Structure 1
């Protein structure tokens, strides 16, 4: 009896320690994701006009340089995914943070556009190594049994990146040049992200559930398996990647052209107000999912996210120039985009499991970045040549194509479900 009580007490202590480790990892990653997205992505739109004046470029050239950098990052992303599987996500994120520090410093010191462009490309390469595409695999590698829950919590924390860094960047730029702001950002990455990512590179400790099953502590914990049968994984992955690509087009195009788009619909006066609803709506959707969507299938959640984006565009088109309609659009679009960030990490895990997760995330990130780099230009071209309503209609059509692709994945799962003996539930 006493031995049994001591055993149960030991397992309780190990479980509590495991939970503490998981939450500490999520908190550390949450901080680095806020800094990573804030310094490497959200700040650019605020600083771009000053960059253009300083470099003697038209402002369009600066955003064109960003598109080239995003495209390059998309081409590099599959390599990053393979590095994550081979060397561990923590080490890759540490190297990415060091790269971000150097790239921000070089960009700040760039005397001309010929130096600025390679530095901007280096920033986007670093982004693929430190943002969600690497953070999600880190949670899967360190906490495979609870990775899905951890990803949801991480996206909730990181969702405050725009809310914090848009005003923070504007405040800094009020008394600093864009070059000085980038030096501050380099210092943030050096003093916070580099040591935190190095700390997250430490070996994962044994899982108490694994010890309870009698597995030696030196063995890695069992990884969750996916719900797609091996023979159908290629088809399912292509359909899932296509759905993410369609959503990436809609999200990137609309977010970049939010204010001009609203202006073309006669809503330019309230454009800033409408935009302000987007960030809180993203966070709200993640919080609602955390509270009420615990037992919801990740495929269904992905379909809901995919439907909200084009649904919001249809609502905006039908109600413009209604202020209430524009505000409803911002809320729905923000919620869809917030859920899109979650399922980008949880759906591949649910469908294909943890093995090779880093490689798959790299491939998905590649598709999203490449499509996202082209989308703003394509949307602007359609808007100017064929009109705003045509641009919105075509974007909504692509959004509904994402829903159709996910529905095809669901049909594939129902027709060829894995035997219960070979599939295990994803937590």
Structure 2
């Protein structure tokens, strides 16, 4: 049997300083998502009226921003692995603050697109992906899951805090004044926190599991091995399908509930539950992974989402039924953000985590950006929401199948290694590792 040895990502970190970093990143992620992303829907209509453009054209600027973030994910990941997050996140915060100010001064649709493309690039430098990379590099597996959960729980309330705040500021100061206040909040909080708390860890890392662990390769070799690994591409396809489903439902759920005869206020309130349920799903994953494989929990949640969407035509006619179906879907709304670092570090270690995570994030983010647009086109040519619901349920089902297939391929590879008597170093220790699946084959 191969021996799994737990190797700290940085043996000097994970104590008081490590948790100070977690606190700082929880705050900066919340403010970053609140100002750079969630403020946009609130400002959409007044912006369109002010600059004399259609809401569709203004919405396209946000899509351009998300696509830019996807393109930036790969070079940002590479930078994080080589240089750490301090300079990158601090610079990104400074530029993002300047762009929020510039956003408040746009007068044409072209200026808005230019600003939002810049904000998309900054988002890749300051939001979840770089924050997770910093945490993965700082914490040993037994503490990493708790650290990641803390950040995502706090940041999960970004929409609940900043959408009402932006609405209140817009009501009293106008959309331009609201952006200036948001820029002040962003700049005065995120810049010093990134500059003063994030630091580059010692280059200790951990070696990957599986076939690439034999020679204890360097960062480049780990990345190349991951790109040749079928399990990476299965995982990428899985999370891409799931991202497509979640983004589509986020945008079109209100319209669907209204089409079933519910008032707009109820539809918006029910859809707003998705943000709260994203936190619930993350808590469920963190608790369940102590007893079950991560892949088992994720596959079960994705399958539940598929069933909930398929049940909507039967349940959503009543308020109770609509809430039940939304809860069923919402439990998986934020689970991927925690599953990604768990599954990637389990398979490839921490040495090249940010680079590999960036390559996975790029197609997932593209799917999230384009999914709602494709769904809108489908609604335009179809009668009712049935084809859209079938498509979303299919994506969730494929995601569940993908997680299960990846687990089976990994188990087969581990059995082969057992038969060869390979000994390796991985992130996952049977007695304390929670970076993957508590020492179980996944």
CA contact (8 A) 2:145 2:286 kept: no
**1:189 to 1:251, Cα distance in 2 relative to 1, 3 A:** same
> Are residue 338 (structure 1) and residue 334 (structure 2) matched?
yes
Higher relative contact order (CA 8 A, sep 6+): 2
> Are residue 116 (structure 1) and residue 112 (structure 2) matched?
yes
Paired position in structure 2 for 1:379? 375
Match of 2:261 among 266, 270, 284: 266
**1:79 to 1:255, Cα distance in 2 relative to 1, 3 A:** same
CA RMSD of aligned residues (A): 2.2
> Are residue 280 (structure 1) and residue 282 (structure 2) matched?
no
**1:305 to 1:355, Cα distance in 2 relative to 1, 3 A:** farther
CA contact (8 A) 1:315 1:325 kept: no
**1:333 to 1:161, Cα distance in 2 relative to 1, 3 A:** same
State how many pairs are aligned: 399
CA contact (8 A) 1:308 1:333 kept: yes
Paired position in structure 2 for 1:193? 190
Match of 2:233 among 224, 234, 238: 238
CA contact (8 A) 2:85 2:199 kept: no
Paired position in structure 1 for 2:30? 34
Q: Distance in 2 between matches of 1:363 and 1:37?
A: 21
Q: What does the per-residue CA deviation read over 1:362-382, in whole Å, with 9 as the maximum and x for residues that have no partner?
A: 112211221111111111111
Q: TM-score, normalised by structure 2?
A: 0.85
Q: Distance in 2 between matches of 1:229 and 1:324?
A: 50
> Are residue 362 (structure 1) and residue 358 (structure 2) matched?
yes
Match of 1:394 among 391, 395, 406: 391
Q: What does the per-residue CA deviation read over 1:331-389, in whole Å, with 9 as the maximum and x for residues that have no partner?
A: 12221112122213322222221111111121122112211111111111112211301
Q: Distance in 1 between matches of 2:287 and 2:79?
A: 34
Q: What does the per-residue CA deviation read over 1:264-288, in whole Å, with 9 as the maximum and x for residues that have no partner?
A: 2333452023123222222222233
Q: Distance in 1 between matches of 2:296 and 2:210?
A: 15
Match of 2:211 among 229, 235, 238: 229
How far 1:410 sits from its partner (Å)?
Answer: 1.0
Give the alignment of 1:126-145 within 5 angstroms: 126-145=122-141
Match of 2:40 among 28, 44, 55: 44
How far 1:23 sits from its partner (Å)?
Answer: 1.7
Q: Distance in 1 between matches of 2:210 and 2:171?
A: 52
Paired position in structure 2 for 1:255? 250
Paired position in structure 1 for 2:218? none
> Are residue 90 (structure 1) and residue 92 (structure 2) matched?
no
How far 1:305 sits from its partner (Å)?
Answer: 3.6
Gaps of 5+ in 2: 1-10, 213-224, 435-442
CA contact (8 A) 1:306 1:340 kept: no
Q: Distance in 1 between matches of 2:339 and 2:296?
A: 10
Q: Distance in 2 between matches of 1:18 and 1:242?
A: 33
Q: SS in structure 2 opposite 1:296?
A: coil
Paired position in structure 2 for 1:421? 423
Q: TM-score, normalised by structure 1?
A: 0.88
How far 1:258 sits from its partner (Å)?
Answer: 2.1
How far 1:144 sits from its partner (Å)?
Answer: 4.1
Q: SS in structure 2 opposite 1:321?
A: coil
How far 1:201 sits from its partner (Å)?
Answer: 3.2
> Are residue 178 (structure 1) and residue 175 (structure 2) matched?
yes
Q: Distance in 1 between matches of 2:28 and 2:210?
A: 33
**1:19 to 1:201, Cα distance in 2 relative to 1, 3 A:** closer
